[in-house]
Structure 1
Amino acid sequence: MRNLITSVIALLLAYQINAQGNLEDPEKTQSAQGSVAMKATLTSASRLFKDKEDLTSVIVIIPAETVVDVTNSDSTYLFVTYEEVEGYIFRKHASINSTPVTLTAGEERTGTISQSRPDDRPAQPAQRPVNDRRTLLTNKYGSDIASRMMAMKIWKGMTAEMVQDSWGSPRKIDRVINGNDVNEKWTYSKSWLYIENDRLVEWGPVR
């Protein structure tokens, strides 16, 4: 009887030790798996907002074709990091990379990225990015407006985004807020533009 009890106790101890050996530290497991980095490419110039509820809280204008890090998103906005500055951009102004990239702990420190593809998934043909400016403008506004923008033309009633797509980002923006009205003076190297409530109303030469 004593031998039987001793055998049972030995079996229980062996089972407990084996179970403890199979447990994994959640933090170590998460560290080993690494984190997922999502990136997006801007299809047009976009304003970076500090607060998505306040469209006057513009931090900077991000040029088209810039690649940014995406931290969070909803149906309207992306929360991104651009040159170590965080803020919100309109989701419609960016194209999220289709394949997320997994960074290991070592890669996060060095900044290098490795990407793997499961063996059971067939390789996809490489897609050529759309870098042609005329194609981008035509897809966005139509051929007539795209031709005018390619000729660097501006006209009254253009939206601020259209002005950026035609002339690029200004060197300076002076903003005056009066109630619900937002008036901006955009200064380029040789010209200034007045934009009232997101519409171009006047322009002239810099003196």
Structure 2
Amino acid sequence: MHHNLHDSTRGRIAFDRLARFRRGWAMHTLVLVWGALVAGGMGLIWQYQHAAGTLHTAPQRWPADSSLRPSPDRWTLVLFAHPKCPCTRATVGELERIINHGGDRLRAHVLFVKPRSCAMQPDWEHTSLWDAAQRIPGVSVSADIGGDEASHFRAATSGLVLLYDPSGSLKFRGGITASRGHSGDNLGRSTVVRFLTHGTADVDRTKVYGCELGIELEET
């Protein structure tokens, strides 16, 4: 009887140890899986934020078929935007900083692309982004119905900025944010400001981050 009790006690101790081991192993596995999922999610977010949009070769001279006219005595900036692209809010904010630096030397246009499929929807393009752009002093805001102007300038991605000098020559094309929806110092904005203040810069293009404008353009 004594031996049976002793064996039973040892059995319970062994079982308890095994149960604790299994619980510890399970918790350790859950922590590892959770960490892997978090790391994977963060990686996907980082990849999305830094996934650049398509940047086509824009006209080196102001396109003659554009309904917009470049300024004969100032730089002309054109920003193409999708009115419902959340990434472009940061671009509008960076444009305002550019205007604050060199607004007297610049004429700026913001064109919100409105697909023909939405032509019968009144005010489809009049979003909070439109309002934010309109609040910037001296900026002209208009709708690009059907993406005609975007086609003339070969714009495919929301947030694209094109900068032309007073002679109508393209000097810069690209984005003015460091990633999708990211506000703050970046190469695009500083390059545009340098062109406005010094007439020259070390780069003439940057990556552009934003939603597709839905314009069918061939790759160049």
Relative to the length of structure 1, the TM-score reads: 0.28
Structure holding more helix per residue: 2
Structure holding more strand per residue: 1
Query: Greater RCO between the two (CA within 8 Å, min separation 6)?
Result: 2
